[in-house]
């Protein structure tokens, strides 16, 4: 669609869309609106489980997971649990287990998110330890959702014929770098707070790189010896939201093996220099892209593990 909009020009493209909407409204508008009203009016929220129940014994790692993955609902006594799905990969056995857990501990609802995770709503507070233990058993109890450890990635060259780089491999490189670097361990992700890293293996933006706190888009570039190698352009300060949405600012292009160290350096700089309750988007505006370029430029190539 973006190529069509570019070829037609924005005004002609908008006019074509509006014309199509008007055609559909004239031919089937009443019918479609009636169908929507019928669907909305007939929907019934599945009954939530009883909030009062005996609490199970918690595992040692439960407290960390509870702080970062169990979010308060408006309804007293209930939590919406975010299940971290690393790189969006989940097996059929895990999905069957999650469906069972949604019935045992929630109201039978399982929701997807646009950052490749899953949500189990309507979980009573007392059921959280048992749910966490069950998630541990199926290897889906990772804490720190929506953090630097919870990377969003498109399929990349592993699965997509349009991709230029292995974006999922880059996400794995970043996780490996963070766990191997002393400054990025011991609660770093939780201290940092919400920090969206999004990776696309080509300019098509399937990994949403343009709206991440830090976004990477893969491409090939020629090196001094004339060969082509994978590189990533890094953007900072992207965001979504009413009145706040924007595309990140490009701070440079980095070799595939260097990019994880650059991301970690930018995150540690943010942790050291930010003001109280300052989001990364606001931090980028305050310190400026040039200063962030300088931080990224100080990262030597050999700083990232091969």
The predicted-structure confidence for 94-137, as pLDDT tens digits, reads as follows: 999 999 999 999 999 999 999 999 999 999 999 999 999 999 99
For residue range 207-222, list pLDDT tens digits in order.
999 999 999 999 998 8
> What number is the average pLDDT over the span 187-214?
93
Residue 95 falls inside a structural domain: yes
State the pLDDT at residue 215. 96
**Higher per-residue pLDDT: 171 or 36:** 36
pLDDT(304) > 60: no
Query: What's the CATH number where 132 sits?
Result: 3.30.70.3340
Structure confidence by residue, pLDDT tens digits, 60-101: 999 999 999 999 999 999 999 999 999 889 999 999 999 999
Q: What pLDDT score was predicted for residue 67?
A: 96
Task: For residues 167 and 266, state if they share a domain.
Answer: yes
Q: Which of 137, 171, 198 is the C-terminal boundary of a domain? A: 137
Are residues 289 and 195 located together in one domain of the fold? yes
pLDDT, position 302: 52
Per-chain mean pLDDT for the chain:
92
For the stretch 21-56, pLDDT in tens is 999 999 999 999 999 999 999 999 899 999 888 878
Q: What is the pLDDT of residue 176?
A: 86
Q: How far apart are CA 133 and CA 61, in angstroms?
A: 10
Question: Can you give the residue range of the structural domain that contains 26?
Answer: 2-42
Mean pLDDT for 249-265 is: 93
Domain co-membership, 167 together with 130? no
Q: Are residues 293 and 193 in the same domain?
A: yes
Q: Does residue 74 share a domain with residue 34? A: no
CB contact at 8 A, 102 and 127: no
Question: Is 184 a residue whose pLDDT tops 70?
Answer: no
Q: Which residue has the higher pLDDT, 49 or 243?
A: 49
3-state secondary structure the chain: CHHHHHHHCHHHHHHHHHHHHHHHHHHHHHHHHHHHHHHHHHCCCCCCCCCCCCCCCCCCCHHHHHHHHEEECCCCCEEEEEECCHHHCCCHHHHHHHHHHHHHHCCCCCEECCCCCEEEEEEEHHHHHHHHHHHHHCCCCCCCCCCCCCCEECCHHHCCCCCCCCHHHHHHHHHHHHHHCHHHCCCHHHHHCCCCEEEECCCCCCCCHHHCCEEEEEEEEECCCCCEEEEEEEEECCECCCCCCECCEEEEEEECCCHHHHHHHHHHHHHHHCCCCCCHHHHHHHHCHHHHHHHHHCCCHHHCCC
Distance CA(169)–CA(157), nearest Å, equals: 9
pLDDT higher than 90, residue 177: no
How far is residue 158's CA from residue 190's CA, in Å, rounded to a whole number?
30
Are 267 and 148 in contact, with CB atoms under 8 Å apart? Answer: yes
Reply yes or no on whether the pLDDT at 230 is more than 60: yes
Angle at 190 between CA 275 and CA 211, to 5 degrees: 70
102: which 2 tokens? 């949604």
- Based on the structure, what is the number of domains in the chain? 3
In this structure, are strands 118-124 and 111-112 parallel, antiparallel, or unpaired? antiparallel
Q: pLDDT band at 224, cuts 50/70/90?
A: confident
Same domain, 117 and 175: no
Instruction: Tell me: do 215 and 170 sit in the same domain.
Output: yes
Q: Which residues share a beta bridge with 65? A: none
Is residue 286, in this structure, part of any structural domain at all? yes
Report if residue 50 sits inside a domain: no
């Amino acid at each position: 669609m973006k190529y069509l909009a570019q070829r037609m020009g924005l005004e002609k493209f908008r006019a074509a869309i509006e014309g199509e909407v008007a055609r559909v409204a004239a031919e089937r508008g009443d019918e479609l609106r009636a169908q929507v009203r019928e669907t909305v009016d007939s929907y019934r929220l599945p009954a939530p489980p009883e909030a009062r129940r005996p609490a199970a014994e918690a595992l040692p790692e439960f407290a960390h997971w509870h702080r970062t993955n169990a979010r308060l609902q408006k309804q007293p006594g209930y939590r919406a649990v975010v299940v971290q799905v690393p790189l969006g990969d989940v097996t059929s056995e895990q999905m069957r287990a999650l469906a069972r857990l949604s019935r045992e501990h929630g109201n039978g609802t399982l929701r997807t998110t646009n950052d490749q995770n899953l949500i189990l709503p309507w979980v009573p507070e007392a059921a959280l330890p048992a749910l966490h233990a069950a998630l541990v058993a199926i290897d889906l109890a990772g804490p720190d959702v929506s953090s630097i450890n919870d990377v969003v990635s498109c399929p990349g060259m592993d699965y997509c014929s349009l991709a230029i780089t292995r974006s999922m491999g880059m996400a794995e490189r970043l996780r490996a770098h963070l766990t191997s670097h002393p400054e990025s361990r011991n609660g770093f992700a939780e201290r940092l707070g919400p920090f969206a890293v999004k990776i696309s293996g080509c300019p098509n933006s399937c990994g949403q790189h343009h709206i991440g706190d830090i976004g990477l888009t893969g491409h090939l570039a020629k090196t001094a010896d004339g060969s082509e190698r994978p590189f990533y352009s890094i953007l900072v300060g992207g965001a979504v939201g009413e009145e706040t949405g924007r595309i990140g600012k490009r701070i440079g292009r980095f070799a595939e093996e260097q990019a994880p160290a650059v991301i970690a350096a930018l995150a540690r700089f943010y942790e050291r220099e930010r003001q109280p309750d300052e989001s990364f988007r606001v931090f980028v505006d305050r310190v400026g892209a040039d200063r962030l370029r300088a931080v990224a430029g100080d990262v030597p190539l050999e700083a990232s593990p091969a």
